[in-house]
Amino acid sequence: MTQYAVGDIQGCYAELIDCLDQVNFNPKSDCLWVAGDMINRGPDSLTTLEFLYQHRNSLRCVLGNHDLHLMAIYFGHRKAKKSDTIDPILNHPNCDLWIDWLRQQPLCVFDPNTQFFMSHAGLPPQWSVTQALAYSEEISSVLKSDGIEKFLTNMYGNTPTHWKNDLTGIERLRCITNYLTRMRICDVDGGLEFDYKGDLTNIPAGYHAWFKHPHRQSSNEKIIFGHWASLGGYTDHHTLFGLDTACVWGQYLTLMQLDTQQYFTANAQPRPSQ
């Protein structure tokens, strides 16, 4: 079995198929890791989700903020934005089936054989892999339960910014979710800042990219992540694999073979609005 990982697809279905065709991906024998934000903003969110669900037994997926956003709209706890491209999903007869599948996906995964960790936004500097997996399981338990309604109602928000072990209730769940799906930069105590979306050169004083944090516990871990499009995949570290290369913003989609760490790319196809 050959394993691959792909960054934020965000409905860029044609580019996904281009990458998979380049490696002759075989769903019967290969495995695709998907680093979240499978849908939204791109032109073919419906086709993308339909394809991923069809090949679900050949995937390892984690949820991104856009995937959670789809759930919040589906359950009636959020209104769609003008930039959203998920109406075809919501209006499709299989929507219930797809949402149920998304509810089964975690916020992070770890493979003890390959020693790869993956989450949408990365691994918070103050957490170990073991802690991240345990905290992710707290979210998974809620998503699979009747508690999903309360969670989605209260999921949005930027507080608390700092992780504390004694956080409880919705504040704890929101904090875990923000770290694993929205994180880019952190202060010296690991506290989150949500406004900055630039590259590594203009990070505000007092903050660090989460993976350049001076006290990062996971400095030796192999980490796959997406979410931070302006990095263009650049991390300056041989065990960190940023796979969001801004395809939905007109750049390209990136696929990585896990064992060789070879990259395959597909340029974004022209969009009518570009």
The helix or strand, by DSSP H or E, that contains position 137, with its residue range, turns out to be helix 129-143
Can you list the domains of the chain with their CATH numbers? Answer: 3-267 (3.60.21.10)
CB-CB contact of 138 with 182 (8 Å): no
Distance in angstroms (rounded) separating the CA atoms of residues 155 and 72: 9
Quote the pLDDT of residue 272.
65
Model confidence band, residue 270 (pLDDT cutoffs 50, 70, 90): confident
Distance in angstroms (rounded) separating the CA atoms of residues 213 and 204: 13
Average pLDDT score over the chain: 96
pTM: 0.97
**177: pLDDT strictly greater than 50:** yes
Quote the pLDDT of residue 274.
43
For residues 136-147, give the mean pLDDT: 98
**5: pLDDT strictly greater than 60:** yes
Q: What whole-number percentage of the chain has pLDDT above 90?
A: 95
Q: Which neighbouring-strand residues pair with 187?
A: 207
CB-CB contact of 4 with 258 (8 Å): yes
Q: Which neighbouring-strand residues pair with 60?
A: 33
Q: What whole-number percentage of the chain has pLDDT above 70?
A: 99
Quote the pLDDT of residue 205.
96
Of 172, 161, 245, 231, nearest in space to 203 by CA: 231
